[in-house]
Chains A and B, each alone.
Chain A
Amino acid sequence: MFIGQDITRVDALDKVLGKAAFAHDLTKNNMLFACVVRSSRPHAVLKRIDVSAARALEGVVKIISHEDIPGENLFGAIKKDQPFLAAGRVRYKGEAILIVVAATEETARRASELVRIEYEDLENISDPFLSIQSPVLIHDGGNLLSHRKVIKGDAAKAFESSDVIVENTYSTTWIDHAYMETEAGLGYLDDRGRMVVASSTQNIHYKMKEISRLLAIPPEEVRVIQATTGGGFGGKLDVTVEGYLALAVWHTKRPVFMRYTREESLLAQTKRHPLYIVYKTGARKDGSLTAVEVNIVGDTGPYNSYGETVCLRAAVHATGPYEVPNVLVNSRMFYTNNPVAGAMRGFGVPQLALAHESQLDEIAGLIGMDPLDIRMKNALKRGSLTATSQVLNHSAGLLETLKAIEPAWRERRKERPGSGFGLGCMYYGIGNTGISNPSSCYLTLTPEGRVEMHSGVCDIGQGSDTVLLQILCDALGMEEMGIDLVRGDTDTSYDAGSTSASRQTYISGMAVCDAAQKLKKYLKEQGYYDGKPLKDICRDAADKGVPIFEGYFDPPTTAPDPETSQGAPYATYAFATHMTEVDVDEVTGVCKAVKVHAAHDVGRAINVSNVKGQIYGGVAMGIGLALMEEFIPGKSESFDNYYLPTSMDMPEVEAMIVEDREPTGPFGAKGVGEPALIPQAAAVVNAIYDATGIRMRQLPCDIERLKLALEKDKENKR
């Protein structure tokens, strides 16, 4: 049995030895260095670009503009609307305009500073609320990227018959992924002249396809390799260095390396979407929810990236994990000239959790109900209908997570002035929303007598390599880890889809199970389970031509109705409850998270240590989201003014694992990556209310915002 065990990670040894080759560490003989010239304006026409001084610098090899692109300049995971290199116009500060390739990194950077660009400024659309009224269009189709609705029952009517109604506005801001490793990679031509790009990434097959379009060459002519990746969190889903490297190699025919500085990563890379949420909740005196109406306005910046995804996912998760009979959600995503917002851990759901969890506490306060009780009363459970009228037929362990927290909650005591306790719950659909998002893999046998797993899954630190091996071992009924992992290379694997949406354990895990079934049948026929050594089976197989055992899984979902989003957008959901204790210093406005109890229904914890690692890391990111992280365009230039939580900011965390097994998942597993973060900020904000009587509806609730709110409250009370 490997499942449920704390199998140590397959990648950990190299990492503690300092041997793991991250993208930053890649190098090749005769290698050139690339860097990107970026826009200093948020919205402008490029009048003139003068590269003469840059080109004259000794060591500069090539300067590449959009005119040098052999194929398609536009990329995008959802919609191809973002240029690799600006073609006549820039739409945000930091947009890529040119690539400079030089003999040294220093020369490339110095040359990039010598490029002179004349801009003719266009209106800078910086407010998503004004975006739609502006006569200036960021794209031809207009400034509204997406509008999604969730309509269930009749919310308007239900409010009329509600005993209590609470309506408030919430807002969140840009958050940087702040992976410790910035974007980096190495490109080169292999012996056969094929384009190879190795980079820090979450999705090799997608990037392979984008490079093939960019260079107008068949995908088979492109190979993308995942270097050891120093964190992703959604930020390494979009194409970054990969496109520039491919272009640089294409033009110079030499190996090219590039890496973003931290400043560049902060400036140019995608951010979490700022969302503005108007939230109206109705309930009866007994605490049962009657209706919610939610209006969401999002700022996606000038390109889609994952803006449409966030727009829809935020909408279908807007009620939170509760039975709400009447739902009306309008979710709109606008183009602006602000930073490009894209995928980040939770795709809009952490922002919504702030709103629905605050609302619920407020309702509870009005009717005099305990925050835990109101959650238990409304919790989704097996047989419940979600906001999209999906029946939860299987795993739905929210109540169990609430019960796991219950003893700590009931025994809570405010030991000090300023201490407070808050709850946050969440549910999260595993995998992409209402679209096919399959994973595939294959297994084979080696002459040495081992099973070889070929995986295109990008392990970005969350531990999927180890988990998939555990699943395979158990699916094959192996007693030892007799498996070699061949991974992270488009040449040696099938498309497993992106490492995002908490989908790899569930979806790729099922693909592995599928392949394992086939291999198992074969091994059975060959007598493995009757004691014939694998070595012998492999030798026989080698003589006959080694068979390949393919695995595939696509979670069963239905496309959301275009008008109402009704349907079954996800095959399964994860559930969680976090309880947080804070200490608020009313003098300074400092809020310290003291203790977190985090209970997660993960279906089945394939690897307990990994699950806990995700929970702890999610709590940390949630503390950052709640209390300190705020990307301010033009100001947040490095980590000296974009603060991430340190060890000293972390609360004590008690991770509790609930296992309501999911029959459609591998050995019952679902996912935990994003759920770990989602309810944390909401729980902090509710705890702050408990401590101070103040509702913080804007994140982050940093020392200044909190102190100002405390001061205002004092004044109001006077």
Chain B
Amino acid sequence: MLPKFASVTARTKDEALSWLSSLENPKIIAGGTDLMVKMRAGKHYSHIIDVAGIPELLGVTEKDGRMSIGPAMTHARLSTEASIVRNARSLALACGLVGSPQIRNMGTIGGNLGNASPAADSIPPLLIHDAVLTLESRDARRKVPLEEAIVAPYVTSIDVKELIDSIEISPLRGYREGYRRVAKRATWAISRLGVAFAIREENGRFLDARLAIGSCTPMPFRAKKVEDLLKGAPKNEATISEAIRMALEEIKLISGIRPSYAYKLPVLQGILEEVLRG
């Protein structure tokens, strides 16, 4: 049973923005796959604003070498959307692994970001694609890199009166790109570890390597130091083991030692080995 609230369905972005600014204690709902669970557990809002059907928040467009993803795009659609499969393969793969078919038909990428779980599967791929969110309220519009938008587990810097208008990413072409995920069950289980990677190499050297790791630290993070190390480095066991050592160090630096690391760090090491060796 859900707590009492009033709900409205926005048909346009303007309608949503004006409700967000005028209604008291408002909350956006898209697919509802996170929010409904939380509300059932007792979380209360006065007004729920449904943005799932707003046409402006749907679709994927390409402009000036960047791609823009509508936040109301479902995981199911993104996982098969041709331009995403082509230009952001890790994202397509990750979206295709979220929850179950029903969850993918309902859950949206905007909701995945809005919920900001450490285990959110779309976040590591978005990080390696330098995602930038466009946030909009009735009175203002601003751009925030995804890394800055998530400030703590389940906490974002998105204001209650703001809406994710779009998610911009850089396409990556000519990269070996993917998403590796570990969970306690073959499907329909939160990831225990998620690794998004995109690697470009030539003549035995890493030209560019992008790595982001989810479900390990309080927020999924992009392993920038490791990426710097790999850039231009020869592709050999020494480089790879140094890169992995660094990645594990970075994780321990971010969150100290956690009981779950007895499992996660050796697994991450193995996955990174496979990913970097290719």
Contacts and interface: CB of A to CB of B under 8 A. Distances in A.
A–B contact with Cβ pairs below 8 Å: the answer is: yes
A6 interface: no
* Centre residue among B100, B186, B189, B192 by max chain A CB count within 10 A: B186
B266 A707 contact: yes
B33 to A, nearest CB: 12
27 contacts: A105-B1, A586-B270, A587-B270, A587-B273, A588-B270, A588-B271, A589-B263, A590-B182, A592-B186, A628-B184, A628-B185, A645-B185, A646-B100, A646-B186, A648-B185, A648-B187, A649-B186, A649-B187, A702-B184, A703-B182, A703-B192, A703-B263, A704-B184, A707-B263, A707-B266, A708-B263, A711-B266
Nearest to A703: B184
Interface string A570-614: 000000000000000011111010000000000000000000000
Given A587-B270, A643-B185, A643-B189, 19 more contacts: A106-B1, A109-B1, A588-B270, A589-B263, A589-B267, A590-B182, A592-B186, A628-B184, A643-B184, A645-B185, A649-B187, A702-B184, A703-B182, A703-B263, A704-B184, A707-B263, A708-B262, A708-B263, A711-B266
Nearest to B272: A587
B188 interface: yes
B64 interface: no
B274 interface: yes
Contacts of B266: 707, 711
Contacts of A646: 100, 185-188
Contacts of A707: 263, 266-267
Q: Interface size for chain B: under 10, 10 to 19, 20 to 34, or 35 or more residues?
A: 10 to 19
Interface in B180-234: 182, 184-190, 192
A468 to B, nearest CB: 37
B74 to A, nearest CB: 20
A146 B125 CA distance: 56
Interface string A456-474: 0000000000000000000
B239 to A, nearest CB: 20
Interface centre among B184, B271, B274 (most CB of A within 10 A): B184
Contact of A704 (B1, B190, B263): B263
A646 B101 CA distance: 12
B184 A588 contact: no
A620 to B, nearest CB: 12
A299 B1 CA distance: 35
A590 B273 CA distance: 17
Contacts of A645: 185
Interface in B237-278: 262-263, 266-267, 270-271, 273-274
Contact of B182 (A586, A588, A628, A649): A588
Contacts of B192: 703-704
Contacts of A628: 184-185
Contacts of A640: 190
Contacts of A643: 184-185, 189
B145 to A, nearest CB: 31
A592 B192 CA distance: 17
A702 B263 CA distance: 11
B35 to A, nearest CB: 15
A645 B187 CA distance: 9
Interface of A: 105-106, 109, 586-590, 592, 628, 640, 643, 645-646, 648-649, 702-704, 707-708, 711
A418 to B, nearest CB: 12
In order of increasing CB-CB distance, the 4 nearest A-B pairs are: A587-B270, A648-B186, A704-B263, A649-B186
A708 B274 CA distance: 19
Contacts of B274: 587
Interface in B151-193: 182, 184-190, 192
Contacts of B189: 643
Contacts of A711: 262, 266
A704 B184 CA distance: 8
A708 B267 CA distance: 10
A155 B174 CA distance: 69
Nearest to A586: B270
Nearest to A711: B266
B178 to A, nearest CB: 15
Nearest to A113: B42
A395 B137 CA distance: 77
Nearest to A110: B1
Contacts of A649: 185-187
Given A643-B189, A648-B186, A702-B184, A587 B262 contact: no
B108 to A, nearest CB: 19
A586 B263 CA distance: 12
Contacts of B1: 105-106, 109
Contacts of A589: 263, 267
Contacts of B187: 646, 648-649
B93 to A, nearest CB: 16
Nearest to A704: B263
A106 B274 CA distance: 52
A109 B40 CA distance: 13
Contacts of A588: 182, 267, 270-271
A526 B188 CA distance: 62
B202 to A, nearest CB: 27
B13 to A, nearest CB: 33
A645 to B, nearest CB: 7
Contacts of A648: 185-187
A105 B1 CA distance: 9
Nearest to B186: A648
A573 B186 CA distance: 35
Contacts of B188: 646
A260 to B, nearest CB: 14
Contacts of A702: 184
A113 to B, nearest CB: 10
A591 to B, nearest CB: 11
A628 B266 CA distance: 20
A390 B274 CA distance: 56
Contacts of A106: 1
Nearest to B1: A106
A587 B186 contact: no
Contacts of B263: 589, 703-704, 707-708
B99 to A, nearest CB: 11
Contacts of A109: 1
Contact of B271 (A587, A704, A708): A587
Nearest to A109: B1
A337 B13 CA distance: 55
Interface string B85-109: 0000000000000001000000000
